[in-house]
């Protein structure tokens, strides 16, 4: 860090001879620049090697997980509460229904039919396992809405995801959705604090 080797106690005991001091400032600057460059390249090389090693260990243990539309999952959502130990708090919430999978690492989840859907990474999701799974609302029409807007079940029991994927694509492209998930309650209008008013 200082551009020179650290002087250890053993060096003081055995009186290791010091290197000759440079006679000119230019020589000292060039030598210091060379030492700092070599030290930086040495540290950078070892850091890159450690990063590659840790990535290799991670890749050996990771198991890719794919979720399909209609799967029930838990969502990792840790929360901290005042006066309650984090050890005993619940880390996963759910179950949530997977209503879309825009890519290999993201899923679109929804808690209930009227809840606002959101996107989550597959690392924050784990399968929901139970003897009796909750009832899915993807294959059922919403009362008061046409059946064509909802995904329909195919003859072999699979869910047709074309409507869900088109809605998901519109959400990614910032196109307003047909379903309005905003709360009917009015928003609270709070004014700016006095210290920010001019």
pLDDT at position 56 is 87
For residue range 115-154, list pLDDT tens digits in order.
Answer: 999 999 998 999 998 888 888 888 766 555 554 444 444 4
Q: Give me the mean pLDDT over the 166-176 stretch.
A: 48
Strands 125-127 and 106-110: unpaired
Choice between 141 and 191, residue whose per-residue pLDDT is larger: 191
Burial 119-146 (b: 16+ CB within 10 A, else e): ebebeebeebeeeeeeebebbeeeeeee
What is residue 182's predicted lDDT score, i.e. its pLDDT?
A: 56
pLDDT at site 175 = 45
pLDDT of 19 higher than 70: no
pLDDT band at 163 (very low <50, low <70, confident <90, very high): low
Output the pLDDT for position 76.
Answer: 93
Q: Which residue has the higher pLDDT, 120 or 39?
A: 120
User: What is residue 160's predicted lDDT score, i.e. its pLDDT?
Assistant: 53
Residue range 21-37: average pLDDT?
81
d(CA 112, CA 97) in angstroms, rounded, equals 8
- pTM, rounded to two decimals: 0.46
* Average pLDDT over all residues of the chain: 76
Q: Say what the pLDDT of residue 178 is.
A: 46
pLDDT of residue 174: 45
State how beta strands 118-121 and 106-110 pair: antiparallel
Q: Note the pLDDT tens digit of each residue in 72-93.
A: 999 998 888 888 888 888 889 8
More confident residue, 63 or 48: 48
Joined together, the tokens standing for residue 159 give 């869910």
Note the pLDDT of residue 176.
Answer: 47
DSSP secondary structure code for residue 196 in this structure:
G
| The pLDDT of residue 72 | 93
> Which tokens go with 70?
């209609």
Q: Is the pLDDT of residue 155 over 50?
A: no
Which parts of the chain are beta strand (E)? 72-76, 92-100, 106-110, 118-121, 125-127
Q: What is the DSSP letter of 16?
A: P
Which of 10-24, 44-58, 71-85 has the lowest average pLDDT?
Answer: 10-24
């Amino acid at each position: 860090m200082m551009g020179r080797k650290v002087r250890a106690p053993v060096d003081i005991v055995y009186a290791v001879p010091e290197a000759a001091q440079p006679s000119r400032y230019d020589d000292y600057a060039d030598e210091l620049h060379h030492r700092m460059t070599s030290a930086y390249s040495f540290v950078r090389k070892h850091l890159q090697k450690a990063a590659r090693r840790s990535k290799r260990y991670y890749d050996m243990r990771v198991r890719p997980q794919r979720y399909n539309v209609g799967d029930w999952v838990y969502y990792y959502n840790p929360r901290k509460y005042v006066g309650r130990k984090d050890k005993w708090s619940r880390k996963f919430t759910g179950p949530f229904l997977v209503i879309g999978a825009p890519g290999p690492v993201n899923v679109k989840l929804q808690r209930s039919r009227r809840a606002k859907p959101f996107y989550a990474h597959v690392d924050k999701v784990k399968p929901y396992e139970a003897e009796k799974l909750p009832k899915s609302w993807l294959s059922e029409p919403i009362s008061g809405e046409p059946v064509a807007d909802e995904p329909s079940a195919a003859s072999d029991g699979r869910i047709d995801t074309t409507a869900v994927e088109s809605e998901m694509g519109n959400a990614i492209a910032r196109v307003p959705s047909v379903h309005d998930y905003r709360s009917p309650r009015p928003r609270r209008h709070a004014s700016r604090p006095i210290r920010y008013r001019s």
